[in-house]
Structure 1
C-alpha cells in the first residue's frame, strides 16, 4: 500500500488464450523474416558466382561473407522460433490443466449440492434400519409359516395305537387255523406215492363231483358234511 497516494493496482493475470495468440503471431513474423533472409542468401550466392566468373575474386568473397551473415541470422530465427513453440505448448498444456481443474471443481460442487447435508453416519444408520426391518420381516414370515400347535395329545394317540395293535394281535392268535385244501408237494427228487383207488362195491355209486364252484362256508360246516358223507358211505357198504 502506497502511503502517499492510491494503491497501485495489481497487474491482471495475462489471459492464456490471448498470450498464445500473440506467440503465434510472433511465429508468423519470424517465418516471414526467415523467408526474406533466405531470398537474400540466394541472391548473395548468385552474386558470388557471377563475380567469380568475372574473375572478381574480392567481390566474390565479400558476397559469400554476406551470405554467411544471413545464414547466421536464420539460425537465430530458428532458435527464437523453437523457444516460442515451446512456450505455446506449455501454455496450451497449462490452459488444458486449468480447464480440467475447473471442471473437476464444478463437479465436486455439484456433488456437494446434490448430497446436501447427507453424511456417512446417516447412511450407516439407514442401512442398519433396513437390515433390522428385513430381519423382523423374516421372523414374521417364519412365524406365519409355522404350523399351529397340535390339537391332540401325542401321548394319548400313541397309547390308543398300542391298544389297537394289541387287539389285532389277539384276534390273529384266537382265529382257528385254516384247513389245507391241497396236499403238500413232495420234496424235489422224491417220488409222490400213488394214491390207492377206493374199491366201491358193485351196484353202488359214489356221489358225483359238483360242476359249480362251492360257496365258501365256515370250516365247521365243511367238517360236518364230510363226516356225514363218510357215514353214509360206510352204511351203504355194510348192507
Structure 2
C-alpha cells in the first residue's frame, strides 16, 4: 500500500501536495473558529445590554445566537482534530516509505557489490597473486645461482683451504720473535763515562709471548 501511495516520484509529489492542502484547510478552519468565538462574545455583550433595559426577549435571542456560534466552534474543532489526525498519518506513512526506499537502495547496492566481487573472483585473484609471487621467487633464485667457472667450485674444499690459511697465520704470529732486541756495546770517547742504558719495560703481551717461545723451545 505504501508503494502504491509513495513508491514513485509523482505519487510522492501528490502526497506533499495533499499535506499542503490539509495545512491550508487547517489554517482556514482556525480563522473561522476565531471569528465565531468573537461573534459569540459579542452576542453575550448584547444580551447584557438588553437585560439592562429590561428587554428580555431580545436578550434571549442573543443567547440563542451565541449557542449557535458555540456549536459551530465545536464543530470546527472536530474538523481540525480530524485534519491533524490525517496529517500525522500521512507524515508517518511518508517517513516509513522513505525509510523502506533507503533500505531497498542499500540492499540493491550491496547486492551489486557482491555480484561484482563474488567469491570466485576473489579466489581467482588470490591464485594469480600466489602464482606471481612464486614466479618471482624462482627468478630471484635463478639470478643468484653461480654460473660458469664459479659453479664448479667445491664449497667444502674452499672452507678447508680457508681454515688452513687461518691456522698458518696464527702459527706465524706465535713464532714471531720479540720486537725488542738487546742493546749492543756502545763506544764512548775517552775521558767520558758511558751512561748506563735505561732498561725498557716489557708489556704483558711481550711477557706472554716470551714465555710461549720458551715452552716451544723445550
**Bucket of the pairwise TM-score, normalised by the shorter protein:** 0.5 to 0.7
Cα deviations by residue, 1:32-53 (Å, 9 ceiling, x for unpaired): 4324422421320221121122
In structure 1, the partner of 2:182 is 180
Sort the Cα spacing of 1:17 and 1:174 in 2 relative to 1 into closer, same or farther, 3 A: closer
Aligned-pair CA distance for 1:150: 6.3
In structure 2, the partner of 1:215 is none
Q: Quick one: distance in 2 between partners of 1:163 and 1:128?
A: 52
Q: Count residues in correspondence.
A: 174
Aligned-pair CA distance for 1:90: 2.0
In structure 2, the partner of 1:156 is 157
- Does residue 169 of structure 1 match 2:168? no
Question: What are the residue-to-residue correspondences of 1:74-89 with 2, within 5 Å?
Answer: 74-89=73-88
In structure 2, the partner of 1:125 is 123
Aligned-pair CA distance for 1:17: 4.1
Sort the Cα spacing of 1:182 and 1:40 in 2 relative to 1 into closer, same or farther, 3 A: farther
Larger radius of gyration: 1
In structure 1, the partner of 2:48 is 49
Aligned-pair CA distance for 1:26: 3.5
Q: Which structure exhibits the higher relative contact order, with contacts defined as CA atoms closer than 8 Å and separated by 6 or more residues?
A: 2
Q: Quick one: distance in 2 between partners of 1:176 and 1:152?
A: 40
Specify every segment of 5 or more residues in structure 2 that has no aligned partner in the other structure, as ranges. 6-10, 195-218
Q: Report the 3-state secondary structure (helix = DSSP H, G, I; strand = E; otherwise coil) of the residue aligned with 1:181.
A: coil
- Does residue 139 of structure 1 match 2:137? yes
In structure 2, the partner of 1:38 is 37
Q: Quick one: distance in 2 between partners of 1:175 and 1:61?
A: 151
Q: Quick one: distance in 2 between partners of 1:87 and 1:181?
A: 128
- Does residue 64 of structure 1 match 2:69? no
Aligned-pair CA distance for 1:136: 1.6
RMSD: 4.5
Q: Report the 3-state secondary structure (helix = DSSP H, G, I; strand = E; otherwise coil) of the residue aligned with 1:85.
A: helix
Q: Quick one: distance in 1 between partners of 2:50 and 2:155?
A: 137
Q: Which has the higher helix share?
A: 2
Sort the Cα spacing of 1:140 and 1:158 in 2 relative to 1 into closer, same or farther, 3 A: closer
In structure 1, the partner of 2:206 is none
Specify every segment of 5 or more residues in structure 1 that has no aligned partner in the other structure, as ranges. 1-11, 184-204, 210-239
Q: Which moved more, 1:69-78 or 1:172-181?
A: 172-181
Aligned-pair CA distance for 1:54: 1.2
